[in-house]
């Protein structure tokens, strides 16, 4: 594999090396599952020391761009770019108290009714069974997000819900009982876009209020306050 890199002259050598490698991954010059050149080859191409390359690899591993495997067939392999990266960023920002769960779900109140509306408009028979199977779980929202046909909206939904899952441990239960999803399902299956949007807005508002309570308990436990 022949890759084109510029000699690194910045005082922040490892960071610039990481940026050049990341750019090659994002642009598809190095594809998912492929192994990066060895530390020695990269060091020669970039005109830096192996330590700088090693540090760059750690940066890329920590940010989810590569996976390091050990052994004779080991090395640094490119990982698939997925929704998980944005969800992880949301979690980091949340844990740094840059925003609250309630703020995130107020965005959902604006976005998810539109997702439900689009899903109803694009309803196809192959989605019906998937929606019915996921009726009492968060997966129901992910299927609708996929159905809407807008990948950016899907990303927002997966990331905000992923935040609640990864931080608060909310997966199903009271927030996603079958009866709470039933009105949305009925409207989407019927292709009634306005009814689907209205039902989803009601559900999103109710979910936000419940999450506000869950979040309050979470921070009390985390901070050790009564």
* Sequence-separated (6 or more) residues with CB below 8 Å from residue 38: 75
Question: Is the domain of 151 the same as that of 202?
Answer: yes
> Whole-angstrom Cα distance, residue 36 to residue 1?
9
Question: Is the domain of 131 the same as that of 170?
Answer: yes
Question: Is the domain of 62 the same as that of 121?
Answer: no
Q: Considering only CA atoms, which of 161, 152, 156, 150 is closest in space to residue 119?
A: 150
**Predicted pLDDT at 162:** 84
Question: Is the domain of 56 the same as that of 116?
Answer: no
Show the domain range for 205: 83-223
Question: Is the domain of 105 the same as that of 176?
Answer: yes
Question: Is the domain of 215 the same as that of 150?
Answer: yes
Give a yes or no: residue 66 inside a domain. yes
Q: What is the CATH number of the domain that holds 104?
A: 1.20.120.530
Packing angle, helices 83-95 and 151-163, rounded to 10:
40
CA atoms within 13 A on the CB side of 40: 0
User: In 27-150, where does DSSP find H-type helix?
Assistant: 39-46, 50-62, 83-95, 101-121, 125-133, 139-147
Q: pLDDT of 65-90, one tens digit each?
A: 999 998 888 899 999 887 777 888 88
Q: Which residues of the chain have pLDDT under 50?
A: none
Question: Is the domain of 163 the same as that of 211?
Answer: yes
> Taking the alpha carbons of 104, 107, 109, 113 in that order, is the dihedral positive or negative?
negative
Q: pLDDT of 86-115, one tens digit each?
A: 888 888 888 888 988 888 888 889 999 999
**Predicted pLDDT at 180:** 87
């Amino acid at each position: 594999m022949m890759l084109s890199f510029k000699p690194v002259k910045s005082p922040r050598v490892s960071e610039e090396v990481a940026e050049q490698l990341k750019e090659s991954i994002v642009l598809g010059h190095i594809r998912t599952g492929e192994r990066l050149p060895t530390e020695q080859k990269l060091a020669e191409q970039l005109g830096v020391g192996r330590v700088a390359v090693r540090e760059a690899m750690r940066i890329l591993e920590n940010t989810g761009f590569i996976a390091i495997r050990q052994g004779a067939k080991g090395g640094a392999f490119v990982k698939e770019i997925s929704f998980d990266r944005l969800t992880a960023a949301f979690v980091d920002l949340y844990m740094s108290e840059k925003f609250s769960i309630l703020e995130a779900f107020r965005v959902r109140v604006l976005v998810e009714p539109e997702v439900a509306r689009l899903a109803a408009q694009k309803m196809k028979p192959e989605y019906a069974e998937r929606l019915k199977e996921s009726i009492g779980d968060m997966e129901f929202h992910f299927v609708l997000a996929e159905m809407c046909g807008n990948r950016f909206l899907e990303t927002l939904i997966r990331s905000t819900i992923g935040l609640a899952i990864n931080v608060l441990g909310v997966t199903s239960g009271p927030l996603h009982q079958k009866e709470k999803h039933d009105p949305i399902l009925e409207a989407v299956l019927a292709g009634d876009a306005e009814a689907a949007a209205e039902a989803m807005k009601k559900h999103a508002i109710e979910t936000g209020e419940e999450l506000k309570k869950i979040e309050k308990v979470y921070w009390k436990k985390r901070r050790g306050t009564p």
